[in-house]
Structure 1
Amino acid sequence: MLIKKIFNNNVILTEDDKQQEIVVMGRGLAFQKKIRDEIDETKIEKTFTIHSKNVSDKLSQLLEEIPLEHFELSNDIIELAKKELGSQLNESIYLSLTDHIHFALTRIQEGLTIKNALLWEVKKFYKDEYKVAKQAIRMIEERTEIRIPEDESASIALHLFNARQDSVGMEQTMVMTKIVNEIITIVKYHFGITFDEDSMNYSRFITHLRYFAYRIQRGELSHEGGDSLFDQVIKQYPDAYQCTLKVQTYLQSNYNVKMTKDEMVYFMIHIHRVSNREKKA
Structure 2
Amino acid sequence: MKVIRNINNNVAVCVDDNNHEVIAFGKGIGFQKAPYEVSLDKIDQTYYNLDSHYIALLDELPAEIMEVTTEIVKKGRAYLQVDFNKSFFFTLCDHIHFAVENAKKGLVISNPMVNEIQHLYDNEILLGRWAIKHIEKTMSVKLPESEAGGIALHFINAMQSKKTTTEKDEIEYFVEDVTNIIESEMNLIVDRSDFSYSRFVTHLKYLLKRSKNLDKASSANVAMYEQVFQQYPELAGTVGKIKNYIMNELHIEPSKEELLYLIMHINRLCAKEGL
TM-score, scaled to structure 1: 0.82
Match in the other structure for 2:221: 227
> 1:63 and 2:58 equivalent?
yes
Counterpart in the other structure of 1:38: 36
User: Mean Cα displacement is larger for which, 112-121 or 200-209?
Assistant: 200-209
Match for residue 87 of structure 1 among 47, 71, 82:
82
Displacement, 1:267?
0.8
Matches within 5 A, 1:216-255: 216=211, 218-219=212-213, 222-228=216-222, 229-235=224-230, 237-255=232-250
| % identity of equivalent residues | 27
Report whether the alignment pairs 1:22 with 2:20: no
1:20/1:49 contact within 8 Å kept: no
- In the alignment, is the contact (CA less than 8 A) between 1:92 and 1:163 conserved in 2? no
Structure 2 CA distance for aligned equivalents of residues 31 and 170 of structure 1: 46
| TM-superposed deviation, 1:222 | 3.2
**CA shift at 1:140, angstroms?**
0.4
State the AA in 2 paired with 1:168: K
Distance 1:45 1:145, change over 3 A: farther
* 2:158 corresponding residue in structure 1: 163
Residue 135 of structure 2 is aligned to residue 136 of structure 1: no
Q: Secondary structure at the match of 2:45?
A: strand
1: CA distance between counterparts of 2:152 and 2:191?
A: 29
Asked whether the 8 Å contact 1:22–1:47 carries over to 2, the reply is: no
Q: Is the 8 A contact 1:4 1:15 kept in 2?
A: yes
Q: Which runs of 4+ in 1 moved over 6 A?
A: none
How many residues were matched structurally? 273
1:193-272 alignment to 2 at 5 Å? 193-216=188-211, 218-219=212-213, 222-228=216-222, 229-235=224-230, 237-272=232-267
Are positions 1:182 and 2:183 aligned together? no
Contact 2:5–2:12 (8 Å) recurs in 1: yes
SS across alignment from 2:86: coil
Classify 1:220/1:113 alpha carbon distance in 2 versus 1 (closer, same or farther; 3 Å).
farther
Q: Secondary structure in 2 aligned to 1:106?
A: helix
> Is it true that 1:277 corresponds to 2:275 in the alignment?
no
Matched residues in 2 for 1:223 and 1:270: separation? 18
From the superposition, tell whether residues 6 and 260 of structure 1 become closer, same or farther in structure 2 (CA, over 3 Å).
same
CA RMSD of aligned residues (A): 2.9
Secondary structure in 2 aligned to 1:242? helix
Contact 1:13 1:24 in 2 (8 A): no
Structure 1 residue 241 displacement after superposition: 2.4
> Matched residue of 1:13: which SS?
strand
* Among candidates 78, 98, 102, match of residue 103 of structure 1: 98
Q: Do the aligned residues in 2 keep the contact of 1:58 with 1:200 (CA within 8 Å)? A: no
- Report the Cα distance in structure 1 between the residues aligned to 2:103 and 2:233, rounded to whole angstroms: 22
1:117-167: CA deviation from partner (whole Å, max 9, x where unpaired): 222222233222222322211110112222221111122223223323433
Residue 70 of structure 2 aligns with an amino acid whose one-letter code is N
Task: Give structure 1 stretches of 5+ with no counterpart.
Answer: none
